[in-house]
Amino acid sequence: MLKGVQEITNALGADAVTTDDDDIDVHSYSEVSTSHCAAKPVAVVMPKSTEEVALIARICSRYKIPMVPFAGGSSVEGNFTAPYSGLSIDFSQMNQIVAFHEEDMDVVVQPGVNWVDLNDSIKHSGLWLPMDPSPTVMRYGTMKDWVVNLTVVLADGSIIKTRHRPRKSSAGYNLTGLFAGSEGTLGMITEIALKLAPIPEERSVAVATFPSVRDAVACASKVMRQSVQIAAVELLDEVQMGVINKNGGSGGRKWEEKPTLLFKFSGTTQSIAADIAKVERISSQGGGSAFEFTKTEQDMHNFWSARKEAVWAMCAQRPEGTQIWSTDVAVPLSRMPEIIDLSKKESEALGLFSSVLGHVGDGNFHQAVMYDPESPTQTQAVQECVRKMVHRAIEMEGTVSGEHGIGLGKKECLIEELGQHTISVMRTLKRSLDPHFLMNPGKIFDP
């Protein structure tokens, strides 16, 4: 393995490879994940181009060195851990906009491009990538819905493009979707062509509080069934609102510590005004109070930052020695009030810090519990609580993960959801593209 690392260092230069212990730790561990492993990568490699990634893959293929892609480092299910050691391939240096086709309303980027930076770079054109992962899914779909094509480096170092650049294509298999959803187990994505959309004329955010989480989710479900052009509906329970307040609030604002819905609107000035009026009426009928909507860009930022800062506020207040077990499931919209209500009651019964966040506009929610990993009693209790939530989601025709992926942490859950025959099909696909199981091995399913 070290011989392969030396060849890569000779080819790319010493600046592209690090074996520093701190760097390796950053690429092995996530504080928002409980899915860890003892093994670590032997080195971190930072390529700058598709050709450099292909060179890395060819050398790793020759020496049978595992390759683990690393991007934002926000893994929750151990997605970028290295259970078989190998190399962490860090794409942070591949942060260029390759091509902007304004008239075609698309852009080609490297994987290290931040979506906020991308939108800042192209806003002069009146276009944007309308993704705010993942709150805006209900209006704009998931990230994969905006991907036109991918450039992918396979395990042997060969380079493919999944399709050409028209928005619509029925040419062959949907390789774009296959690779986009593979967690780096089939190949390494080095360029992404993305669709763009016109920036809305106006945007606004509204907030309402509710007596209970169940009331809040029921209101969100009712809003979803109305003719309201809403971009997002986010739930934060009373515990999470307290965490945000303890962290200094958002924009200096202190929030009511009650179950809270945040609504995001986009469209014309007239349509937003009409939609806000509808949502305020539905909210009031569902027991909501303190309904308020933003009138300025700064207010909108302050309101929405409560949601965006929630997880990091929780991490900042985590007592030393504890871990956060964060997991997500998704269910059909009609089952959201029931599963969130039951899951919240079960987690509260643990007697530990627990909080619920939800993208309730698309049936997806997150549960976070703080516990002492050195306490077998606490660890077992939290594991059982999470297991019940996941099993309940499957019983409701839902999924074990709406966003986080499978990684290391939910391999057994995936078998429960899909069954061994479906997993066998996935395993066959992987063997055909990665016969030596070098691409992010140990994730999604075992060899």
- Indicate if 213 and 272 belong to the same structural domain: yes
Confidence of residue 361 (pLDDT cuts 50, 70, 90): confident
Residue 41 burial (C-beta neighbours within 10 Å; 0-12, 13-18, 19+): buried
Please indicate, yes or no, whether the overall pTM of this predicted structure exceeds 0.85: yes
- DSSP bridge pairs for 18: 44
- Indicate if 150 and 287 belong to the same structural domain: no
Confidence of residue 208 (pLDDT cuts 50, 70, 90): very high
Q: Is residue 127 part of a domain?
A: yes
Instruction: State how many domains the chain has.
Output: 3
- What is residue 197's three-state secondary structure? strand
- Indicate if 249 and 155 belong to the same structural domain: no
Of 357, 377, 396, which residue constitutes the final position of a domain? 396
Write the pLDDT tens digit of every residue in 119-147. Answer: 999 999 999 999 877 677 778 888 999 99
Q: What is the pLDDT of residue 346?
A: 95
Kindly state the average pLDDT of the residues 285-294: 94
pLDDT surpassing 90 at residue 34: no
- Indicate if 109 and 15 belong to the same structural domain: no
- Indicate if 160 and 270 belong to the same structural domain: no
- Indicate if 299 and 366 belong to the same structural domain: yes
Q: Among the listed ranges 47-51, 228-232, 236-240, which one has the minimum average pLDDT value?
A: 228-232
- Indicate if 353 and 256 belong to the same structural domain: yes
- Indicate if 220 and 193 belong to the same structural domain: no
Write the CATH number for 156.
Answer: 3.30.465.10
Q: What is the pLDDT of residue 252?
A: 76
- Indicate if 170 and 277 belong to the same structural domain: no
Kindly state the average pLDDT of the residues 32-58: 94
Only one residue has tokens 């739930």, namely 235
pLDDT surpassing 80 at residue 31: no
- Indicate if 273 and 385 belong to the same structural domain: yes
What range defines the domain where residue 353 resides? 202-396
Of 173, 198, 223, which residue constitutes the final position of a domain? 198
Residue 276 burial (C-beta neighbours within 10 Å; 0-12, 13-18, 19+): buried
- Give CA–CA dist 434/432, Å, rounded: 6
Instruction: Judge whether 262 and 361 are in contact, CB under 8 Å.
Output: no
Write the CATH number for 232.
Answer: 3.40.462.10
Q: What is the pLDDT of residue 134?
A: 65
Kindly state the average pLDDT of the residues 321-342: 93
Average pLDDT of the chain, as a whole number: 94
Kindly state the average pLDDT of the residues 71-84: 90
Q: Is residue 256 part of a domain?
A: yes
- What is residue 81's three-state secondary structure? coil
Write the CA distances from 294 to 138, 272, 352, integer angstroms.
21, 11, 35
- What is residue 200's three-state secondary structure? coil
Confidence of residue 207 (pLDDT cuts 50, 70, 90): very high
Distance of alpha carbon 318 from the chain centroid: 21
| Residues counted in the chain | 447
